[in-house]
Structure 1
Amino acid sequence: MANLLTDRDFWVKYWESKTDISVAIPQNYLFHQQLETIVKRENVKTAIELGGFPGYYAVFLKKYLKLEVTLLDYFVHEPITQQLLETNSLAKNDIHIIETDLFNYQPEKQYDLVLSCGLIEHFNDTEDIINRHIQFLKPGGTLFITLPNFKALNGWFQKTFDKENYDKHNIDCMDPTLLKTIVEKSGLDVLQARYFGGFSLWLENEKEKSAAVRLFKKATWFVGKVFSKIIPFESKQLSPYILVEAKKS
Protein backbone atom coordinates (compact mmCIF):
# COMPACT_ATOMS: atom_id res chain seq x y z
CA MET A 1 0.00 0.00 0.00
CA ALA A 2 3.00 2.32 -0.45
CA ASN A 3 1.10 3.84 -3.36
CA LEU A 4 -1.39 5.30 -0.87
CA LEU A 5 -0.74 8.73 0.67
CA THR A 6 -3.38 8.22 3.37
CA ASP A 7 -4.46 5.33 5.60
CA ARG A 8 -7.66 4.23 7.30
CA ASP A 9 -6.77 6.08 10.49
CA PHE A 10 -6.44 9.31 8.51
CA TRP A 11 -9.94 8.92 7.07
CA VAL A 12 -11.50 7.94 10.41
CA LYS A 13 -10.08 11.10 12.00
CA TYR A 14 -11.01 13.17 8.94
CA TRP A 15 -14.67 12.19 9.00
CA GLU A 16 -14.94 12.25 12.77
CA SER A 17 -13.82 15.90 12.64
CA LYS A 18 -16.78 16.81 10.42
CA THR A 19 -19.97 18.07 12.06
CA ASP A 20 -22.11 18.87 9.03
CA ILE A 21 -21.93 15.68 6.95
CA SER A 22 -25.61 14.87 6.47
CA VAL A 23 -26.62 17.72 4.20
CA ALA A 24 -29.35 18.05 1.59
CA ILE A 25 -27.65 17.72 -1.78
CA PRO A 26 -28.92 20.48 -4.11
CA GLN A 27 -29.84 19.97 -7.75
CA ASN A 28 -27.12 22.44 -8.75
CA TYR A 29 -24.41 20.49 -6.92
CA LEU A 30 -20.84 20.95 -8.14
CA PHE A 31 -20.33 19.36 -11.61
CA HIS A 32 -24.09 18.86 -11.98
CA GLN A 33 -24.17 20.21 -15.53
CA GLN A 34 -21.39 17.91 -16.66
CA LEU A 35 -22.98 14.86 -15.07
CA GLU A 36 -26.46 15.66 -16.37
CA THR A 37 -25.05 16.04 -19.88
CA ILE A 38 -23.26 12.69 -19.71
CA VAL A 39 -26.30 10.84 -18.36
CA LYS A 40 -28.60 12.26 -21.02
CA ARG A 41 -26.17 11.94 -23.93
CA GLU A 42 -25.02 8.40 -23.12
CA ASN A 43 -28.34 7.10 -21.76
CA VAL A 44 -26.61 6.15 -18.51
CA LYS A 45 -28.47 3.71 -16.27
CA THR A 46 -25.82 2.52 -13.80
CA ALA A 47 -23.02 4.35 -12.00
CA ILE A 48 -20.39 3.74 -9.35
CA GLU A 49 -18.71 6.40 -7.23
CA LEU A 50 -15.23 5.35 -6.12
CA GLY A 51 -13.75 6.70 -2.91
CA GLY A 52 -16.82 8.82 -2.34
CA PHE A 53 -17.83 8.27 1.29
CA PRO A 54 -20.24 9.48 2.60
CA GLY A 55 -21.72 9.40 -0.90
CA TYR A 56 -22.61 12.93 -1.99
CA TYR A 57 -22.35 12.22 -5.70
CA ALA A 58 -24.01 8.84 -5.33
CA VAL A 59 -26.91 10.64 -3.66
CA PHE A 60 -26.98 13.30 -6.38
CA LEU A 61 -27.07 10.68 -9.15
CA LYS A 62 -29.86 8.75 -7.43
CA LYS A 63 -31.91 11.69 -6.22
CA TYR A 64 -31.95 13.79 -9.38
CA LEU A 65 -30.88 11.53 -12.25
CA LYS A 66 -32.59 8.32 -11.04
CA LEU A 67 -29.62 6.04 -11.70
CA GLU A 68 -28.85 2.66 -10.19
CA VAL A 69 -25.93 3.72 -8.00
CA THR A 70 -23.12 2.00 -6.10
CA LEU A 71 -20.74 3.63 -3.62
CA LEU A 72 -17.33 2.00 -3.08
CA ASP A 73 -14.82 3.20 -0.52
CA TYR A 74 -12.04 1.95 1.70
CA PHE A 75 -13.81 3.48 4.70
CA VAL A 76 -17.59 3.53 5.04
CA HIS A 77 -19.40 4.30 8.29
CA GLU A 78 -22.89 3.19 7.31
CA PRO A 79 -24.84 5.19 9.95
CA ILE A 80 -23.45 8.38 8.40
CA THR A 81 -24.40 7.29 4.89
CA GLN A 82 -27.85 6.21 6.05
CA GLN A 83 -28.39 9.59 7.72
CA LEU A 84 -27.34 11.26 4.47
CA LEU A 85 -29.89 9.16 2.58
CA GLU A 86 -32.65 10.08 5.04
CA THR A 87 -31.77 13.77 4.81
CA ASN A 88 -32.20 13.52 1.04
CA SER A 89 -35.49 11.56 1.23
CA LEU A 90 -33.90 8.35 -0.05
CA ALA A 91 -34.48 4.84 1.25
CA LYS A 92 -31.88 2.69 3.00
CA ASN A 93 -31.31 0.48 -0.02
CA ASP A 94 -31.36 3.20 -2.69
CA ILE A 95 -27.56 3.10 -2.88
CA HIS A 96 -25.56 -0.13 -2.93
CA ILE A 97 -22.52 0.15 -0.64
CA ILE A 98 -19.23 -1.72 -1.01
CA GLU A 99 -16.62 -1.21 1.72
CA THR A 100 -13.38 -2.63 0.40
CA ASP A 101 -9.78 -1.96 -0.47
CA LEU A 102 -9.81 -1.00 -4.15
CA PHE A 103 -6.41 -2.66 -4.56
CA ASN A 104 -7.69 -6.06 -3.46
CA TYR A 105 -11.09 -6.02 -5.14
CA GLN A 106 -12.17 -7.48 -8.44
CA PRO A 107 -15.31 -5.81 -9.86
CA GLU A 108 -18.34 -8.07 -9.87
CA LYS A 109 -19.97 -5.93 -12.56
CA GLN A 110 -19.25 -2.99 -14.83
CA TYR A 111 -21.06 0.34 -15.06
CA ASP A 112 -22.16 2.92 -17.62
CA LEU A 113 -20.54 5.69 -15.55
CA VAL A 114 -17.51 5.44 -13.28
CA LEU A 115 -16.69 8.58 -11.32
CA SER A 116 -14.51 9.82 -8.53
CA CYS A 117 -14.30 13.33 -7.15
CA GLY A 118 -11.21 13.92 -5.06
CA LEU A 119 -9.70 10.42 -5.03
CA ILE A 120 -6.81 9.95 -7.42
CA GLU A 121 -4.68 12.70 -5.87
CA HIS A 122 -4.27 10.59 -2.72
CA PHE A 123 -2.15 8.03 -4.57
CA ASN A 124 1.44 8.18 -5.78
CA ASP A 125 0.90 5.99 -8.85
CA THR A 126 -1.62 7.98 -10.88
CA GLU A 127 -1.67 5.59 -13.82
CA ASP A 128 -2.42 2.65 -11.56
CA ILE A 129 -5.34 4.29 -9.75
CA ILE A 130 -6.87 5.49 -13.02
CA ASN A 131 -6.64 1.98 -14.46
CA ARG A 132 -8.46 0.69 -11.39
CA HIS A 133 -11.29 3.05 -12.32
CA ILE A 134 -11.36 1.73 -15.87
CA GLN A 135 -11.79 -1.90 -14.79
CA PHE A 136 -15.26 -0.94 -13.54
CA LEU A 137 -16.24 0.62 -16.88
CA LYS A 138 -18.49 -1.02 -19.46
CA PRO A 139 -17.55 -0.86 -23.15
CA GLY A 140 -19.07 2.41 -24.31
CA GLY A 141 -19.12 3.72 -20.75
CA THR A 142 -17.92 7.09 -19.48
CA LEU A 143 -15.12 7.83 -17.02
CA PHE A 144 -15.49 11.06 -15.04
CA ILE A 145 -12.71 12.15 -12.69
CA THR A 146 -12.30 15.41 -10.80
CA LEU A 147 -9.60 16.49 -8.37
CA PRO A 148 -8.44 19.70 -6.70
CA ASN A 149 -5.87 21.89 -8.40
CA PHE A 150 -3.30 22.58 -5.69
CA LYS A 151 -0.98 24.16 -8.25
CA ALA A 152 -3.35 27.12 -8.12
CA LEU A 153 -3.61 29.82 -5.45
CA ASN A 154 -5.77 27.47 -3.41
CA GLY A 155 -2.82 25.08 -3.21
CA TRP A 156 -0.62 27.83 -1.78
CA PHE A 157 -3.21 28.30 0.96
CA GLN A 158 -3.19 24.58 1.71
CA LYS A 159 0.60 24.38 1.80
CA THR A 160 0.96 27.52 3.93
CA PHE A 161 -1.85 27.07 6.43
CA ASP A 162 -2.53 23.30 6.40
CA LYS A 163 0.72 21.56 5.44
CA GLU A 164 -0.39 18.26 6.97
CA ASN A 165 -3.39 18.07 4.64
CA TYR A 166 -1.36 19.34 1.68
CA ASP A 167 1.15 16.53 2.12
CA LYS A 168 -1.62 13.94 1.77
CA HIS A 169 -1.96 14.93 -1.89
CA ASN A 170 0.04 14.00 -4.98
CA ILE A 171 0.65 17.45 -6.44
CA ASP A 172 2.37 16.11 -9.55
CA CYS A 173 -0.81 14.45 -10.79
CA MET A 174 -2.65 17.78 -10.86
CA ASP A 175 -1.94 18.30 -14.54
CA PRO A 176 -4.66 17.94 -17.22
CA THR A 177 -2.10 17.12 -19.92
CA LEU A 178 -0.59 14.32 -17.83
CA LEU A 179 -4.01 12.90 -17.00
CA LYS A 180 -5.07 13.02 -20.65
CA THR A 181 -1.94 11.10 -21.64
CA ILE A 182 -2.53 8.41 -19.00
CA VAL A 183 -6.19 7.93 -19.92
CA GLU A 184 -5.42 7.76 -23.66
CA LYS A 185 -2.64 5.25 -22.98
CA SER A 186 -5.29 3.06 -21.31
CA GLY A 187 -7.28 3.04 -24.56
CA LEU A 188 -10.01 5.56 -23.81
CA ASP A 189 -11.03 8.52 -25.93
CA VAL A 190 -10.60 11.69 -23.88
CA LEU A 191 -13.46 14.14 -24.42
CA GLN A 192 -12.08 16.79 -22.07
CA ALA A 193 -9.16 17.24 -19.68
CA ARG A 194 -9.05 20.76 -18.32
CA TYR A 195 -8.99 23.16 -15.42
CA PHE A 196 -12.46 23.80 -14.03
CA GLY A 197 -13.98 26.71 -12.16
CA GLY A 198 -13.26 30.41 -12.00
CA PHE A 199 -11.90 30.85 -8.48
CA SER A 200 -12.32 29.39 -5.02
CA LEU A 201 -10.44 28.85 -1.76
CA TRP A 202 -11.01 26.45 1.09
CA LEU A 203 -9.29 25.09 4.16
CA GLU A 204 -10.15 21.86 5.94
CA ASN A 205 -11.54 22.50 9.43
CA GLU A 206 -11.33 26.24 8.83
CA LYS A 207 -12.99 27.02 12.16
CA GLU A 208 -9.91 25.66 13.93
CA LYS A 209 -7.58 28.15 12.21
CA SER A 210 -6.58 31.42 13.84
CA ALA A 211 -8.72 34.52 13.37
CA ALA A 212 -5.92 36.11 11.31
CA VAL A 213 -5.78 33.16 8.90
CA ARG A 214 -9.57 33.10 8.53
CA LEU A 215 -9.68 36.84 7.88
CA PHE A 216 -6.86 36.66 5.33
CA LYS A 217 -8.55 33.76 3.55
CA LYS A 218 -11.88 35.62 3.47
CA ALA A 219 -10.27 38.77 2.06
CA THR A 220 -8.38 36.82 -0.60
CA TRP A 221 -11.51 34.88 -1.51
CA PHE A 222 -13.44 38.13 -1.96
CA VAL A 223 -10.77 39.76 -4.15
CA GLY A 224 -10.44 36.61 -6.26
CA LYS A 225 -14.19 36.34 -6.76
CA VAL A 226 -14.44 39.96 -7.89
CA PHE A 227 -11.52 39.50 -10.29
CA SER A 228 -12.97 36.30 -11.76
CA LYS A 229 -16.32 38.02 -12.28
CA ILE A 230 -14.67 40.83 -14.23
CA ILE A 231 -12.39 38.53 -16.24
CA PRO A 232 -13.97 35.06 -16.18
CA PHE A 233 -11.61 32.32 -17.34
CA GLU A 234 -10.34 28.94 -16.23
CA SER A 235 -6.62 28.60 -15.63
CA LYS A 236 -3.87 26.73 -13.84
CA GLN A 237 -3.29 29.73 -11.60
CA LEU A 238 -6.84 30.25 -10.31
CA SER A 239 -9.16 27.32 -11.13
CA PRO A 240 -9.79 25.19 -8.04
CA TYR A 241 -10.43 21.90 -9.88
CA ILE A 242 -9.31 19.66 -12.71
CA LEU A 243 -11.82 17.63 -14.69
CA VAL A 244 -11.33 14.62 -16.97
CA GLU A 245 -14.05 12.97 -19.06
CA ALA A 246 -13.33 9.99 -21.30
CA LYS A 247 -15.21 7.26 -23.15
CA LYS A 248 -14.37 3.57 -23.42
CA SER A 249 -14.63 2.10 -26.90
Structure 2
Amino acid sequence: MGNLLTDRQFWVKYWESKTGLSVNIPENYLFHKELANIITGQKIKTAIELGGFPGYYAVFLKKYFKLDVTLLDYFVHPPVTNDLLQANQLSEKDIHIIETDLFNYTSAQQYDLVLSCGLIEHFNDTADIINRHINFVKPGGTLFITLPNFRALNGWFQKNFDRENYDKHNIDCMDPKLLESICKQAGLNIVQSRYYGHFSLWLENEQQKSAGVRLLKKSMWLAGKVFTKIFPFNSKQLSPYIILEARKP
Protein backbone atom coordinates (compact mmCIF):
# COMPACT_ATOMS: atom_id res chain seq x y z
CA MET A 1 0.00 0.00 0.00
CA GLY A 2 2.88 2.35 -0.77
CA ASN A 3 0.44 4.51 -2.69
CA LEU A 4 -1.34 5.57 0.51
CA LEU A 5 -0.38 8.67 2.48
CA THR A 6 -2.86 7.66 5.20
CA ASP A 7 -4.05 4.41 6.76
CA ARG A 8 -7.26 3.22 8.38
CA GLN A 9 -6.06 4.19 11.85
CA PHE A 10 -5.45 7.74 10.64
CA TRP A 11 -9.08 8.04 9.52
CA VAL A 12 -10.45 6.41 12.68
CA LYS A 13 -8.49 8.95 14.75
CA TYR A 14 -9.46 11.78 12.38
CA TRP A 15 -13.20 11.14 12.56
CA GLU A 16 -13.18 10.36 16.27
CA SER A 17 -11.67 13.83 16.84
CA LYS A 18 -14.59 15.50 15.09
CA THR A 19 -17.75 16.80 16.72
CA GLY A 20 -20.95 18.13 15.21
CA LEU A 21 -20.78 15.88 12.14
CA SER A 22 -24.54 15.49 11.80
CA VAL A 23 -25.30 18.82 10.15
CA ASN A 24 -28.17 19.97 7.98
CA ILE A 25 -26.70 20.18 4.46
CA PRO A 26 -27.79 23.47 2.86
CA GLU A 27 -28.96 23.88 -0.72
CA ASN A 28 -25.99 26.18 -1.41
CA TYR A 29 -23.42 23.62 -0.25
CA LEU A 30 -19.90 23.99 -1.63
CA PHE A 31 -19.76 23.22 -5.41
CA HIS A 32 -23.59 23.22 -5.57
CA LYS A 33 -23.69 25.27 -8.79
CA GLU A 34 -21.24 23.01 -10.58
CA LEU A 35 -23.08 19.87 -9.50
CA ALA A 36 -26.49 21.32 -10.40
CA ASN A 37 -25.21 22.16 -13.91
CA ILE A 38 -23.92 18.62 -14.38
CA ILE A 39 -27.07 16.96 -13.07
CA THR A 40 -29.50 19.03 -15.12
CA GLY A 41 -27.33 19.27 -18.22
CA GLN A 42 -26.42 15.58 -18.35
CA LYS A 43 -29.71 14.22 -16.97
CA ILE A 44 -27.92 12.41 -14.15
CA LYS A 45 -29.85 9.60 -12.44
CA THR A 46 -27.18 7.62 -10.55
CA ALA A 47 -24.15 8.84 -8.60
CA ILE A 48 -21.41 7.46 -6.36
CA GLU A 49 -19.32 9.42 -3.88
CA LEU A 50 -15.90 7.82 -3.38
CA GLY A 51 -14.07 8.21 -0.08
CA GLY A 52 -16.85 10.42 1.16
CA PHE A 53 -17.63 9.31 4.72
CA PRO A 54 -19.74 10.52 6.48
CA GLY A 55 -21.46 11.21 3.16
CA TYR A 56 -22.13 14.94 2.91
CA TYR A 57 -22.24 15.00 -0.89
CA ALA A 58 -24.18 11.75 -1.10
CA VAL A 59 -26.76 13.34 1.22
CA PHE A 60 -26.71 16.57 -0.79
CA LEU A 61 -27.36 14.71 -4.06
CA LYS A 62 -30.19 12.64 -2.59
CA LYS A 63 -31.79 15.50 -0.66
CA TYR A 64 -31.89 18.12 -3.41
CA PHE A 65 -31.74 16.12 -6.65
CA LYS A 66 -33.35 12.78 -5.68
CA LEU A 67 -30.57 10.79 -7.32
CA ASP A 68 -29.94 7.10 -6.78
CA VAL A 69 -26.84 7.58 -4.61
CA THR A 70 -24.08 5.30 -3.35
CA LEU A 71 -21.38 6.13 -0.80
CA LEU A 72 -18.14 4.11 -0.92
CA ASP A 73 -15.39 4.41 1.67
CA TYR A 74 -13.05 2.04 3.44
CA PHE A 75 -14.05 3.51 6.79
CA VAL A 76 -17.75 3.91 7.55
CA HIS A 77 -19.14 4.35 11.07
CA PRO A 78 -22.90 3.72 10.62
CA PRO A 79 -24.12 5.71 13.67
CA VAL A 80 -22.52 8.87 12.27
CA THR A 81 -23.96 8.35 8.79
CA ASN A 82 -27.39 7.49 10.20
CA ASP A 83 -27.40 10.63 12.34
CA LEU A 84 -26.43 12.67 9.29
CA LEU A 85 -29.29 11.15 7.28
CA GLN A 86 -31.79 11.90 10.05
CA ALA A 87 -30.54 15.49 10.32
CA ASN A 88 -31.43 15.87 6.63
CA GLN A 89 -34.84 14.17 6.80
CA LEU A 90 -33.53 11.03 5.08
CA SER A 91 -33.51 7.38 6.13
CA GLU A 92 -30.97 4.55 5.95
CA LYS A 93 -32.71 3.28 2.82
CA ASP A 94 -32.00 6.49 0.91
CA ILE A 95 -28.27 5.88 0.36
CA HIS A 96 -26.47 2.68 -0.62
CA ILE A 97 -23.32 2.27 1.49
CA ILE A 98 -20.31 0.19 0.47
CA GLU A 99 -17.53 -0.16 3.03
CA THR A 100 -14.55 -1.53 1.15
CA ASP A 101 -10.98 -0.88 0.09
CA LEU A 102 -11.11 0.85 -3.29
CA PHE A 103 -7.93 -0.99 -4.29
CA ASN A 104 -9.49 -4.42 -3.82
CA TYR A 105 -12.95 -3.73 -5.17
CA THR A 106 -14.48 -4.20 -8.60
CA SER A 107 -17.86 -2.59 -9.07
CA ALA A 108 -20.57 -4.46 -10.93
CA GLN A 109 -22.21 -1.10 -11.66
CA GLN A 110 -21.16 2.09 -13.41
CA TYR A 111 -22.67 5.48 -12.65
CA ASP A 112 -23.79 8.65 -14.45
CA LEU A 113 -21.80 10.76 -11.98
CA VAL A 114 -18.68 9.74 -10.06
CA LEU A 115 -17.38 12.28 -7.57
CA SER A 116 -14.89 12.64 -4.78
CA CYS A 117 -14.14 15.71 -2.71
CA GLY A 118 -10.83 15.64 -0.89
CA LEU A 119 -9.73 12.09 -1.72
CA ILE A 120 -7.12 11.89 -4.48
CA GLU A 121 -4.59 14.08 -2.65
CA HIS A 122 -4.10 11.33 -0.04
CA PHE A 123 -2.42 9.03 -2.59
CA ASN A 124 1.05 9.16 -4.11
CA ASP A 125 0.05 7.79 -7.52
CA THR A 126 -2.41 10.36 -8.85
CA ALA A 127 -2.95 8.67 -12.20
CA ASP A 128 -3.78 5.38 -10.49
CA ILE A 129 -6.40 6.82 -8.12
CA ILE A 130 -8.03 8.89 -10.89
CA ASN A 131 -8.23 5.84 -13.15
CA ARG A 132 -9.94 3.94 -10.33
CA HIS A 133 -12.53 6.72 -10.34
CA ILE A 134 -12.89 6.43 -14.11
CA ASN A 135 -13.67 2.69 -13.82
CA PHE A 136 -16.92 3.66 -12.07
CA VAL A 137 -18.02 6.11 -14.81
CA LYS A 138 -20.45 4.75 -17.39
CA PRO A 139 -20.05 5.78 -21.05
CA GLY A 140 -21.42 9.30 -21.39
CA GLY A 141 -21.03 9.79 -17.64
CA THR A 142 -19.24 12.54 -15.74
CA LEU A 143 -16.25 12.52 -13.42
CA PHE A 144 -16.16 15.34 -10.85
CA ILE A 145 -13.19 15.64 -8.49
CA THR A 146 -12.33 18.41 -6.05
CA LEU A 147 -9.28 18.75 -3.83
CA PRO A 148 -7.63 21.42 -1.70
CA ASN A 149 -5.00 23.69 -3.24
CA PHE A 150 -2.11 23.57 -0.78
CA ARG A 151 0.07 25.43 -3.27
CA ALA A 152 -1.90 28.51 -2.28
CA LEU A 153 -1.57 30.66 0.83
CA ASN A 154 -3.75 28.14 2.64
CA GLY A 155 -1.07 25.50 2.03
CA TRP A 156 1.63 27.75 3.47
CA PHE A 157 -0.52 28.13 6.56
CA GLN A 158 -1.03 24.36 6.86
CA LYS A 159 2.67 23.67 6.33
CA ASN A 160 3.72 26.07 9.07
CA PHE A 161 1.00 25.49 11.66
CA ASP A 162 -0.27 21.95 11.02
CA ARG A 163 2.65 20.08 9.47
CA GLU A 164 1.27 16.67 10.44
CA ASN A 165 -1.87 17.28 8.38
CA TYR A 166 0.08 18.90 5.53
CA ASP A 167 2.31 15.83 5.21
CA LYS A 168 -0.74 13.59 4.68
CA HIS A 169 -1.31 15.33 1.33
CA ASN A 170 0.33 14.84 -2.06
CA ILE A 171 1.16 18.43 -2.98
CA ASP A 172 2.36 17.48 -6.47
CA CYS A 173 -1.13 16.40 -7.54
CA MET A 174 -2.53 19.88 -6.83
CA ASP A 175 -2.04 20.96 -10.44
CA PRO A 176 -5.00 21.39 -12.82
CA LYS A 177 -2.78 20.72 -15.85
CA LEU A 178 -1.62 17.40 -14.40
CA LEU A 179 -5.18 16.31 -13.63
CA GLU A 180 -6.29 17.29 -17.11
CA SER A 181 -3.46 15.34 -18.76
CA ILE A 182 -4.26 12.18 -16.76
CA CYS A 183 -7.90 12.29 -17.84
CA LYS A 184 -7.02 13.00 -21.46
CA GLN A 185 -4.65 10.05 -21.47
CA ALA A 186 -7.51 7.90 -20.17
CA GLY A 187 -9.66 9.02 -23.11
CA LEU A 188 -11.93 11.46 -21.28
CA ASN A 189 -13.06 14.83 -22.59
CA ILE A 190 -12.15 17.70 -20.26
CA VAL A 191 -14.94 20.10 -19.33
CA GLN A 192 -12.89 22.08 -16.81
CA SER A 193 -9.77 21.70 -14.67
CA ARG A 194 -9.00 24.84 -12.72
CA TYR A 195 -8.41 26.64 -9.46
CA TYR A 196 -11.65 27.35 -7.62
CA GLY A 197 -12.71 29.88 -5.02
CA HIS A 198 -11.38 33.33 -4.26
CA PHE A 199 -9.84 32.75 -0.84
CA SER A 200 -10.09 30.71 2.35
CA LEU A 201 -7.97 29.40 5.22
CA TRP A 202 -8.67 26.51 7.56
CA LEU A 203 -7.07 24.39 10.25
CA GLU A 204 -8.05 20.90 11.33
CA ASN A 205 -9.08 20.86 14.99
CA GLU A 206 -8.53 24.60 15.23
CA GLN A 207 -9.58 24.81 18.88
CA GLN A 208 -6.57 22.70 19.83
CA LYS A 209 -4.16 25.29 18.41
CA SER A 210 -2.60 28.08 20.44
CA ALA A 211 -4.38 31.40 20.85
CA GLY A 212 -1.65 33.07 18.77
CA VAL A 213 -2.12 30.71 15.84
CA ARG A 214 -5.90 31.11 15.96
CA LEU A 215 -5.56 34.90 16.02
CA LEU A 216 -3.13 34.87 13.08
CA LYS A 217 -5.47 32.62 11.11
CA LYS A 218 -8.44 34.88 11.84
CA SER A 219 -6.49 38.00 10.83
CA MET A 220 -5.22 36.45 7.58
CA TRP A 221 -8.67 35.06 6.78
CA LEU A 222 -10.29 38.47 7.26
CA ALA A 223 -7.64 40.30 5.21
CA GLY A 224 -7.90 37.73 2.40
CA LYS A 225 -11.68 37.87 2.35
CA VAL A 226 -11.70 41.68 2.16
CA PHE A 227 -9.10 41.70 -0.63
CA THR A 228 -10.86 39.09 -2.75
CA LYS A 229 -14.22 40.79 -2.17
CA ILE A 230 -12.77 43.85 -3.89
CA PHE A 231 -10.76 41.85 -6.44
CA PRO A 232 -12.59 38.54 -6.94
CA PHE A 233 -10.62 36.03 -9.01
CA ASN A 234 -9.50 32.41 -9.00
CA SER A 235 -5.75 31.87 -8.76
CA LYS A 236 -3.04 29.40 -7.87
CA GLN A 237 -1.86 31.76 -5.12
CA LEU A 238 -5.16 32.26 -3.27
CA SER A 239 -7.85 29.80 -4.41
CA PRO A 240 -8.47 27.15 -1.74
CA TYR A 241 -9.64 24.41 -4.13
CA ILE A 242 -9.10 22.75 -7.49
CA ILE A 243 -11.96 21.23 -9.46
CA LEU A 244 -11.84 18.73 -12.30
CA GLU A 245 -14.80 17.86 -14.49
CA ALA A 246 -14.44 15.37 -17.34
CA ARG A 247 -16.76 13.25 -19.43
CA LYS A 248 -16.38 9.70 -20.68
CA PRO A 249 -17.26 9.37 -24.39
Q: Same fold (TM over 0.5)?
A: yes
> CA–CA distance in 1 between the matches of 2:137 and 2:120?
16
- Quote the Cα distance in structure 2 between the aligned partners of 1:240 and 1:140: 30
User: Taking structure 1 as the reference length, what is the TM-score of the superposition?
Assistant: 1.00
* Structure 2: tracts of 5 or more residues without a match: none
CA offsets per residue over residues 194-227 of structure 1, 9 Å max, x none?
A: 0000000000000000000000000000000000
**Structure 2 match to 1:187:** 187
Aligned to 1:101: 101
Instruction: Give the C-alpha shift of residue 108 in structure 1.
Output: 1.4
Distance in 2, Cα, partners of 1:150 & 1:108 = 35
Structure 1: which 5+ runs fail to align?
none
Q: Compute the displacement of 1:248 (Å).
A: 0.2
Matched residues in 2 for 1:88 and 1:32: separation? 16
Read off the aligned partner of 1:137 and give its amino acid letter: V
Per-residue deviation at 1:91?
Answer: 1.0
Q: Deviations over 1:159-181 (max 9, x none)?
A: 00000000000000000001000
Residue 178 of structure 1: SS of its match in structure 2? helix
The alignment-based identity, stated in percent, is: 73
Give TM-score scaled by structure 2 length: 1.00
Distance 1:147 1:232 in 2: 20
List aligned pairs for 1:145-164, cutoff 5 A.
145-164=145-164
What is the CA–CA distance in structure 2 between the aligned matches of 1:247 and 1:92, rounded to whole Å?
30
> Which secondary structure state, in structure 1, belongs to the residue aligned with residue 65 of structure 2?
coil
Residue-by-residue CA offset, 1:103-139 (whole Å, 9 max, x unaligned): 0000110000000000000000000000000000000
Deviating runs (4+, > 4 A) in structure 1? none
Counterpart Cα distance in 2 of 1:203 and 1:160:
11
CA distance in 2, matches of 1:121, 1:154: 15
Instruction: Report the equivalent of 1:132.
Output: 132
Task: Give the structure 1 partner of residue 200 of structure 2.
Answer: 200
Cα RMSD over matched residues? 0.3
Cα deviation for residue 20 of structure 1 reads: 1.1
SS of the aligned residue for 1:64 comes to: helix
Residue-pair matches, total = 249
Give the equivalent residue in structure 1 for 2:123: 123
Please give the secondary structure, in 2, of the residue aligned with 1:232.
Answer: coil
Q: Matches of residues 36-75 of structure 1 in structure 2 within 5 Å? A: 36-75=36-75
Structure 2 counterpart of 1:30: 30
Partners of 1:187 and 1:107 in 2: CA distance: 20
- Report the CA distance between 1:21 and its aligned residue: 0.5
Q: Hey, what's the Cα distance between the residues in 2 that align with 1:74 and 1:165?
A: 20
Q: Distance in 2 between matches of 1:204 and 1:177?
A: 28
Q: Deviations over 1:54-95 (max 9, x none)?
A: 000000000001100000001000110000000000011100
